[in-house]
Each structure stands twice: as structure tokens, then as C-alpha cells.
A and B are shown apart, each in its own frame.
Chain A
Amino acid sequence: MIPMADSSPAGAPAIAAALTEPTVQVTSSFTGAKIVLYGAVYDPRRQPHDVVVVVRGPEQPVRISRKVRVAGLWLNSRPVTFEGAPGYYMAASTRPLNAVTGFRNRRTLGLGVDNLPFAAPAETRVETRYGVSDVVVSRLGGEYLAYRRAVIRLKQQGGLYAADSDAVRFVDTGLFRADIALPSSAPAGHYTAEILLFRGGEPIARRTRSLTVEKVGIERTLYALAHERPWSYGVLSVVFGVFAGWVAAVVFRQP
């Protein structure tokens, strides 16, 4: 017997998906990775569907500064910290997201880089305005949106945030494939891949798969040593340096 893709009632559309590699290993030759996800849409009535695959990396606070000109020099302003931003975000879909579903769904489901739910809580305060209590305002005022957009823009430039409306393709009836590029700067940690099935602009089925990006081998050893026993790591680095320099001096000793 073939297992059902979802515990939905018989006849209702369902979705199933699996990652070809649930673990991405960061070795010394790591230059980024391509994650391939295969999935199936089960729908006896064969109606048109859209599939959206959202991959999110571990949450990382982001610090951003604005360049300000002081006495002819471009200096950094006080950095603003945004919380709740994923270290990696990719929305892959069969069609552009605004064609797949409406604004409300994109906002609540966090689809597309503009709908990521991150904020700068340290900059906000709650006050009473125009007689209305508990109004959340940002100290950045009108600048807030410019900062938020800049975070997204800079992350996009680094290849860490993306939306690709070609990345999910149907390879056969009901069978789709998503290709997700992970740059070498993608953070290590726990990732989730959320697979959503849309019909007529409404999400009708959902699956979640998890993915781990981990450092292995010498990378892991050095990283762990440098962060867990930083002083020993520092002394070892110097010992290595002095030894290497001494070897060079002996090898190239002039007669």
C-alpha cells in the first residue's frame, strides 16, 4: 500500500516532499551547496496548483549602520540591531509570489523577502499618542523602513536572502523539484524547509522538512577550539607561527 502524503480526507489535495540531502557538510573545500528537494502533489482532480518552498536558516540578529558624513568623512552611525531575522532565507516558487497568493497570505506566511517578520525591539518604546495608550513607536521614526529595507537589500547582495519564481519546476505530473542555492557564507545550524501548496490563491496543504548545515572535520575542530577555548587557540596559533617561521629560516639558511 502506498502511504498517503497527508492525513487529509480522501480526495482532498495533499503534498509530500523530501530533501535529497538532509545534511549539508561544511568542509575545508566548502564553496556553497545546492539543495535539491523533490515533492509530489496528490490531487485526483488534477487542478492547477502552485508550490512554494521556503527555506529559513537559523535566526541571527543583524546589526546595521548608516553612513553619515561628518567633517567630510563618511562615518558609521550608531548600529541598529534587528531581531528575528533568519540567517538565510529563500522563497522558491512555481510563479512569482504575488501571482501565487495575495498580500495577506504572503504577510502571515512570511513569503518573500519583504514579508520577513523581523524588527528592531531595542529601538521601540510604548507610549500614549493622541490619547491612545500602548502605541508602539520606533525611535528611528520614518527612518525605520529605510533601515529594514537596507537589511534585506544587503542580505540579498550577499546571496543570503532570495526569492526565485523559477526555482520550483514540475518535472512530471504531480512531481516537482526545487533547487535552492546555499552560498558559502550561509550560517551553520538548523534550517527548515516549508513546502506549501496553493490553489486559487489559498494555502491548502503544508509540509515541513528540516535541514542541518554543519561544520565537519578540521573546520569544526578549529571553530570549536577558537570559540570554546579561545586562549589555548591563540597560544597554539602563535606556536604554529613561530615554528613555521623558524623552519623557514633553517631551510633557507644562506651558506
Chain B
Amino acid sequence: MDVYLPIAEVAVNAPLLVALGALVGFLSGLFGIGGGFLMTPILVFLGIPPAVAVASEANHVTASSVSGVVAYRRRGAVDLKMGGVLAAGGAVGALLGVELFRVLLALGQADLVVSLAYLVFLGAIGGLMVTESLRTLIRQRRGVVATPHRDRRPPWLYGLPLRVRFPKSRLYISVIPPLALGAFTGVLSAIMGVGGGFVLVPAMVYLLRMPAGMVVGTSLFQIVLTTALTTVLQAGRNQTVDVVLAGLLLLGGVLGAQFGARASTRFRPEALRAVLGVIVLFVGLRMGMGLLLTPGDPFVLSPGSATP
């Protein structure tokens, strides 16, 4: 059964999209990620224009992250103050990112920058995740107890001005690092159609040294606010949000996420991180392949109007 998407202006197979939404939702529940970085490339491979894929995926990520936040909030695992500071940075990043994306669309370079961003960020983070978790797994197999680095807080981070207390996370740090981190993920959400959890979560753990229990809920809270703003900005400035597409993905996504979350308790976290790292790396390389391989056709049509 094909459905014609009103904004993307292409017909897509609806059951396929719902099934893909469910699969990505399952993986997001399993790994505790938003799944935007998986979904946007899939949509592009299915023939959805990259600009529409990126913007609609922001809308989808908002919706799927809301259910996550509600669940974490019930357990008291969301630091609203920290999330608010991150989201304030995210708002600035989203504004900059959407304007940047607009200029790229006008220059006919949007699809290229989307691929490049995937290659660079997912390649780097996937590579780090794989090596890090492999090292942990090998160490465990050999029976070596990992030396905890927990208390070695980076001094430069704590020397910054504008220190604020975050009682929920038991932190007293400058607001500059979370603002900058939020702004960075805001830009990513605008040009990659992701929530940015794959950057936020490691940064919150290793840079901000937030308690592990607060990290995922707080990052989801920031993601909801940032991607909601990104969606409105993409719709308002670029008219690229396809709500029918986002709805179809969500339909499968909510179911998949529930099963994923239940399945996640059966696996060891190190093994899950290694698998996730491989997936992240693969997606990054696959998106980047178009940049590295000689194209089949030396010409490409670039959608969008000629005037910015």
C-alpha cells in the first residue's frame, strides 16, 4: 500500500515505513538512543529528498523522545535545570543550524553536507565506541579490573566562570560547557536530522561528569526541546517538514521502542555498546561512501529554488 507524501511529493510504501520505524524504534529502546541517525540515512536511501528527510526526522525524534522523557521523569531521572541550560544552548544551535542549512540548500550543497556530517561525526564516534568497548570486553575476559578514572575531573572545565549549582546532578560547574554542548547538538539536529544523543550522552558522562542515572533522561529532555524548535524552524524557513512521513515512522516506532527497552535488560551493557558502535560506524561510512566513490553519473539535480 503506497502513500503519497504531501511535502516530499513522492509515493512511499507505508507498511515498509512503519516496519522500518518499528525496527529503528526497537534499536533505540535497546540502546537507549533517539535513532535519528539511523532513520535519516534510511529515508535518504528510500528516495526521500535529503532536506525533507532531515527536517521530518527532527519532528519524529521530538515525538519519540517525549515518551522517553515521560518514563524517565516518573523515575525522577531528569535534571530539568541542566536540561534547560542544555536546551538554551540547543536553541541557539538550532537557529544557526537551520539558517546554515537554508544557505546550503540555496547553494545546492545540502545533500553533500548531510553526507559529510554523517561521515565525520558518526565515523569518529562509532570508531571511539568500538575501540572503547572492545578494550573493556578484552579486559573483562582477561580478568583485569578496570582502573576507575571517575574522579579525574578535567581542570579546565572547572576553572571557567559563571558557575551554577545543579542540585539534582550534584554538580557545581560553569554553564558555559553545557551551553556550548547544547548549541553543538542543536546544529547537528538541524543539518543531520538527529537528536544528538550520540554526542550528548558521552559528553555528559565524560566531560560534565553527571551521575549515570541522570544522563539519559536529561539528554532526552534537551532533545525534545531542541528538536521541537528545529522542526518549527525547518517548517517555517525551509518548508521541508513532512508530518505524514513523521507520523508513519512514529506509528511503528512507539511499538518497537517498548520491545527494545524490554529486550535491553537481557544483554550486557558493554556488548550493547560494542554493537551500537559498529552500527554507528557502518551508517557513517555508508553515508560517506557517496563522497568517496566515483559517482555513476557525474551530474546531480539539486532541488530547491535558485534564490535563497
B-binding residues in A (CB < 8 A): 26-32, 61-67, 72-76, 78-79, 81, 122, 146-147, 150-151, 153-155, 184-185, 187, 215, 218-219, 222-223, 226-227, 230-231, 233-238, 240-242, 244-246, 248-250, 252-254
Give every chain B residue within 8 A of A73 (Cβ-Cβ): 116, 291-292
* Cβ–Cβ contact B236 & A241, under 8 A: no
16 residue pairs from A and B, CB less than 8 Å apart: A31-B2, A64-B299, A64-B301, A74-B291, A78-B107, A122-B306, A155-B301, A184-B11, A226-B6, A230-B236, A234-B236, A234-B241, A240-B243, A245-B65, A245-B70, A254-B71
Pick from B60, B234, B300: contact of A67, CB under 8 Å: B300
How does the 8 Å CB contact mask read for B22-40 relative to A, with 1 for contact and 0 for none? 0000000000000000000
A133 to chain B, nearest CB (A): 29
CA distance A62 to B306 in the complex (A): 9
Complex interface residues of chain B between 179 and 221 (CB less than 8 A to chain A)? none
CA distance A87 to B241 in the complex (A): 23
CA distance A230 to B224 in the complex (A): 20
* Cβ–Cβ contact B63 & A74, under 8 A: no
Given contacts A238-B59, A238-B232, 5 further A-B contacts (CB under 8 A): A31-B4, A74-B290, A147-B299, A223-B6, A240-B247
Give every chain B residue within 8 A of A245 (Cβ-Cβ): 62-67, 70, 250, 254
Pick from B9, B231, B293, B302: contact of A79, CB under 8 Å: B302
Give every chain A residue within 8 A of B306 (Cβ-Cβ): 61, 63, 79, 81, 122
* Cβ–Cβ contact A74 & B294, under 8 A: yes
B272 beta carbon closer than 8 Å to chain A: no
B285 to chain A, nearest CB (A): 14
Pick from A29, A246, A248, A249: contact of B4, CB under 8 Å: A29
Pick from A27, A76, A153, A250: contact of B109, CB under 8 Å: A76
A28 to chain B, nearest CB (A): 6
* Cβ–Cβ contact A234 & B302, under 8 A: no
CA distance A236 to B224 in the complex (A): 15
A-binding residues in B (CB < 8 A): 1-4, 6-7, 9-11, 59-60, 62-68, 70-71, 107-109, 111-112, 116, 224, 228, 231-237, 239, 241, 243-244, 246-247, 250, 254, 257-258, 290-295, 297-306
Given contacts A27-B4, A74-B292, A245-B62, contact A63 B243 (CB under 8 A): no
A230 to chain B, nearest CB (A): 5
Give every chain B residue within 8 A of A218 (Cβ-Cβ): 6
In the complex formed, the residue of B with least CB distance to A222 is B6
Given contacts A29-B4, A75-B112, A150-B299, contact A241 B234 (CB under 8 A): no
Given contacts A230-B239, A248-B67, contact A242 B62 (CB under 8 A): yes
* Cβ–Cβ contact B4 & A222, under 8 A: no
CA distance A72 to B289 in the complex (A): 12
CA distance A108 to B295 in the complex (A): 35
A119 to chain B, nearest CB (A): 14
* Cβ–Cβ contact B236 & A76, under 8 A: no
Give every chain B residue within 8 A of A249 (Cβ-Cβ): 66-68, 70-71
Give every chain B residue within 8 A of A32 (Cβ-Cβ): 11
Pick from B2, B243, B299, B303: contact of A66, CB under 8 Å: B299
Given contacts A31-B2, A65-B299, A67-B298, contact A241 B231 (CB under 8 A): yes
* Cβ–Cβ contact A234 & B233, under 8 A: yes
In the complex formed, the residue of A with least CB distance to B66 is A245
B58 to chain A, nearest CB (A): 9
* Cβ–Cβ contact B302 & A237, under 8 A: no
Pick from B59, B116, B235: contact of A230, CB under 8 Å: B235
B78 to chain A, nearest CB (A): 13
CA distance A237 to B231 in the complex (A): 8
Given contacts A76-B108, A237-B243, contact A63 B67 (CB under 8 A): no
B215 to chain A, nearest CB (A): 19
